[in-house]
Amino acid sequence: MTKNKYHLLCVFGYVFLTNTVIAQQPAQYSLYMLNQYNYNIAYAGMDDYLSATGVFRKQWVGLTGSPTTQNVNVHLPWQYLSGGAGLSIQNDILGAERNTSVTVSYNYMASLSNNMRLSIGVGGGMVQKAIDGAKLRAPEGNYEGGTIQHNDDFIPIGLESAIAPTAGFGIYLKNKSLEVGLSANDLIESSLDYGSNIATSVQLKRNYHVFAAYNVKISDALTLKPSALLKSDLIQTQADFSVLSEINDNIFGGLSFRGYSSETVDALVFIAGMNITPNVRLAYAYDLSLSGLSSHNSGSHEIMLNYNLGKTLGGVIPAKVIFNPRFY
């Protein structure tokens, strides 16, 4: 058994030691500052027009069973309901485990001033977790001759899956310079029961995100955007700190650092991107691992493509018609 496989099996062995599992924090993304709706549903419509984003991330390249994540989301302002609406689909694969979610949301937006908007959003959907027991090995198992016999009630022999509802809440405040957001996901902390073939069940753990960013205009051609994202389930907490620079509202790049203490230091992230057209933005991030896993992987890659329609769907809301009868 290779050292990478040993580390992966140790992780899954720990996960299946008890019959109830508390899920880890949501999937990791490095381009969080360019894809705010992904973690805060209250951001829907804040791009002013229909905005569609696709993200692909491969984490810890070279480590067997390392996470592979895809996310697609679409959101837009909804003038008739004084807010915005969005749809998000995510697929996260970690070794023998697959997590798939589909959520929809609505948020109400109010103008606090000429430049400041406040958005409050709610959303919900479904989460599916699947475990392929054929990819796992137990210390007491029998695997000779192609046989899969774990001899462990907590590990399935084949593929098992479960579905549960999920709900979220978010608040987002934005003007031309400042952005602040707070969101909570998996509010109802649903349990996923894999059924009679496996004694393990999984409980979704409520998690929180706090985001802040500020645009600093250095000159007509150069803008700096420092940002931070705090992620927590009130047991474990992680933080990202980033600075992006953008030239002529077109080419951009910067650095991000993940961690806030010796125990949480995870990666140094290099970010680059550009607006391919006025409506299409491409971004790439490379994570240089700094944690204890750094000797077992060659970093992480993330690519993001965003399309902004740039015009209002369906036109503006028609003015109310007032009938004025005349008498002759």
Give the least confident one: 16-20, 75-79, 275-279, 290-294.
Answer: 16-20
CA-to-CA distance for 200 and 191, rounded, in angstroms? 11
Q: Which amino acid is at 12?
A: F
Q: Which amino acid is at 322?
A: I
Residue boundaries of the structural domains of the chain: 3-308
Fold of 3-308: Porin (2.40.160)
Residue 154 is predicted with a pLDDT of 75
Inter-residue contact 58 to 70 (CB < 8 Å): no
pLDDT, tens digit, 9 for 90 and up, residues 151-196? 777 777 778 889 999 999 999 999 989 999 999 999 999 988 876 6
pLDDT, tens digit, 9 for 90 and up, residues 193-204? 876 666 667 889
CA-to-CA distance for 268 and 223, rounded, in angstroms? 22
Does residue 270 surpass a pLDDT of 90?
Answer: yes
What pairs with residue 22 in β-bridges? 203
CA-to-CA distance for 17 and 199, rounded, in angstroms? 11
